[in-house]
Structure 1
Amino acid sequence: MAVRTEIPRIISVDDHLVEPAHLWQSWLPERFKERGPRVERRRVGPISYIGGAKMYTYELDVEDGPWGDVWFYEDLVYPNKRHVAAVGFDRDDMEAVPITFDEMRPGCYDPKARVEDMEMNHVEASLSFPTFPRFCGQTFLEADDKELALACVQAYNDFMIEEWCGDSNGALIPLAIIPLWDVELAKAEVERNAARGCHAVCFSEIAPNLGLPSIHTGYWDPFFSACQDTNTAVCMHIGSSSVMPAASPDAPPAVAASLSFNNAIASMSDFLFSGVLVRFPQLKLAYSEGQIGWIPYILERCDDVWSEHRAWGGVRDAIPEPPSTYYYRQIYGCFFRDNHGLKSLDEVGVDNVTFETDYPHTDTTWPHTKKVAEDMMGHLPADVVHKLVRGNAARLLNLDIG
């Protein structure tokens, strides 16, 4: 029987935080608390999938509807949903239905319980994306009162660094959000948080989908410069453009879930031809939950376009080397189940791959992540496995972990 490689303790670069009900009421300045995000327990009617930025429709105060803990902020009504806090439920019960904090596994929202769940899952350190703010803070971008929205962004980051990560002894890695509506405020927030040890920040995979300038305009250069100067990784989660790939308008959610990596393909192509990685050669980009099996072909295609079409394609002067050059130097992919990608590891890049557990979403490998990793990677050399499950993540996130 062949000897299987032992899986070292994992650094997960993509998990999720279900914000506790007290977050903004505790961390906002007093003058904002009354208008800040708050939670009420209400009866919620059937939740219907509609796709797009809003994703779901629902009604409140439906007689005999299930109880759910619901966020209220300006005109936004946002029920917590079971498939977003899915750990502890059977696979067939991970539905888009309302859920209360009492019904959730405490690791969804409590940092001490989260670390305990990580311990039983062979995970040493974890980076968590937001839920109510959405994957790059779109909730506050869409708000009317931008003074309050900025306070909410800063309160979230204060909570993230001081409460969520503060007593975890490095097990919980801080991930900040930015005020997307103002690049100078975004730059300042990166610098503010880097000064207290936060070296990862959320950003949109395709900013124009949010009504924001594209990366081709130069508008975001002060933000990218701040990230490069502070060694802050730019983390882009699938769905951080508020538009999920779709096919037929009446297709079930399973179609969008199957196509979720499409935005990462589009975003990476955008960056490779934008000149951003030429101007900022130490900037690090991370694609979260996008898997890796598609990467070899898009690199081949981008290099072929650069070789054959760069004159009329508008990139002859802006991109001096084949686009794959910048990928291998500055971009990280992320996977949780991708046997095809692992078979193509030489082309994906053994130094460009990170691993995740996606706790507490329905894709999560918790509490069997070590077994999942062994089944996928146990045949690989120990030094390669080390890079995939922790070494590359430590380099990406500026962690002092071996």
Structure 2
Amino acid sequence: MNVDELILVSIDDHVVEPADMFKNHLPANLADQAPHVETDASGVDRWIYQGRVTGVSGLNAVVTWPPEEWAKDPAGFAEMRPAVYDIHDRVRDMDRNGILASMCFPTFAGFSAGHLNHFKDPLTVIMIQAYNDWHIDEWAGTYPGRFIPLALLPTWDPQLMVAEIRRVAAKGCRAVTMPELPHLEGLPSYHDITYWGPVFAALSETGLVMCLHIGTGFGALKLAPDAPIDNLIILA
């Protein structure tokens, strides 16, 4: 077997969401309440939702950077390889790298929508649905068969999660991203079957895969404050 002929299915990729991602997926009367990107005085692009600031990328967008420059610092779109946020450039790079299909975890929203779910309200449910519609219909849907759609959930309410699981499954989504250690987000642990049971049942019924991205769990570890970023990569 020639390793150069291998075709890969990558299940731990990331998308840096483009600044206009909500444009086509919200009613006009909610457009001004959507998460949006602002550039601060230092020239750093930041997502803002309901007044709360979140960085754009950090370690998710260091492709082509020299390893000594890898860090968790937010970066501007201008510093990134376009393929991290542009679907056409992404597929072009996938073709170059021999990647048949890719599953892309979110960036600004948080691996399990933790940044959006900071606000547990009806508006956030709409924003999560808009994110999922963008991810399924626009990001993954532009090149059918090249991406494994991955949806977010409103994790603070089991019935809302069940409803969104069924909604995205009907749209062709095959997986959802959920907290690695939910108790670190103030939620019941996965040992609480009363809380999570309906969610697990809905996932089983629809055949959706529950994906837990490593990262949240670093909050449970006491790491050396002066350790290099490689320390996290090794742990991962």
- Is the TM value for this pair above 0.5? yes
Q: Which amino acid aligns with 2:182?
A: A
| 2:228 pairs with 1:230 | no
**Match for residue 39 of structure 2?**
41
2:180–2:214 CA contact under 8 A, matched in 1: yes
**C-alpha distance in 2, partners of 1:242/1:157?**
26
Displacement of 1:74 after TM fit?
A: 1.6
Match of 1:24 in 2: 22
Q: CA deviation at 1:123?
A: 0.3
Give the whole-Å Cα distance in 2 for the aligned partners of 1:113 and 1:151: 29
CA distance in 1, matches of 2:179, 2:114: 9
Q: CA deviation at 1:179?
A: 0.5
2:128 paired with 1:128: no
Mark the structure with the bigger radius of gyration.
Answer: 1
Shift of 1:83: 3.2
Give me the whole-angstrom Cα distance separating, in 2, the residues matched to 1:90 and 1:251.
20
Unpaired segments ≥5 residues, structure 2: none
Match of 1:89 in 2: 65
More displaced, 72-81 or 222-231?
A: 72-81
Q: 1:1-400 residue pairs with structure 2 within 5 A?
A: 7-44=5-42, 67-143=43-119, 146-218=121-193, 219-240=195-216, 243=219, 245-248=221-224, 250-254=225-229, 257=232, 260-261=235-236
Q: Find the aligned partners of 1:6 and 1:41 in 2 and give their Cα distance.
A: 42
Task: Give percent identity, aligned residues only.
Answer: 36
- Match of 1:31, as an amino acid? N
Distance in 1, Cα, partners of 2:108 & 2:233? 23
For the aligned residue pairs, the C-alpha RMSD in angstroms reads: 2.1
Structure 1 pair 83/259, CA: closer, same or farther in 2 (3 Å)? closer
- 1:76 is displaced (CA, Å) by 1.5
By how many angstroms is 1:137 displaced? 0.6
> Greater shift after overlay, 71-80 or 123-132?
71-80
Distance in structure 1 (CA, Å) of the matches to 2:184 and 2:110: 14
Partners of 1:21 and 1:154 lie apart in 2 by: 17
- Whether the aligned pair in 2 keeps the contact of 1:210 and 1:241 (CA below 8 Å) is no
Alpha-carbon shift at residue 103 of structure 1 (Å): 2.4
Distance 1:84 1:43 in 2: 23
Structure 2 length-normalised TM: 0.91
Q: Map Cα deviations across residues 289-345 of structure 1 (whole Å, 9 max, x no partner).
A: xxxxxxxxxxxxxxxxxxxxxxxxxxxxxxxxxxxxxxxxxxxxxxxxxxxxxxxxx
- Tell me, in whole angstroms, the C-alpha distance in 1 between the residues paired with 2:189 and 2:58: 34
Aligned amino acid, residue 161 of structure 1: I
* CA–CA distance in structure 2, aligned partners of residues 102 and 6 of structure 1: 32
- Deviation of 1:87 after TM superposition, in Å, equals 1.3
242 and 162 in structure 1: CA distance in 2 versus 1, 3 angstrom threshold:
farther
Over residues 187-226 of structure 1, what are the superposed CA-to-partner deviations in whole Å (9 max), with x where a residue is unaligned? 1111111112111001112111111112222111111111
Distance 2:161 2:119 in 1: 16
CA drift at 1:32? 2.1
Q: TM-score, normalised by structure 1?
A: 0.55
What is the deviation of 1:247? 3.2
Higher relative contact order (CA 8 A, sep 6+): 1
Kindly provide the CA deviation profile for residues 45-82 of structure 1, in whole angstroms up to 9, marking residues without a partner as x: xxxxxxxxxxxxxxxxxxxxxx2211111232123245
1:37 to partner: Cα distance? 0.5
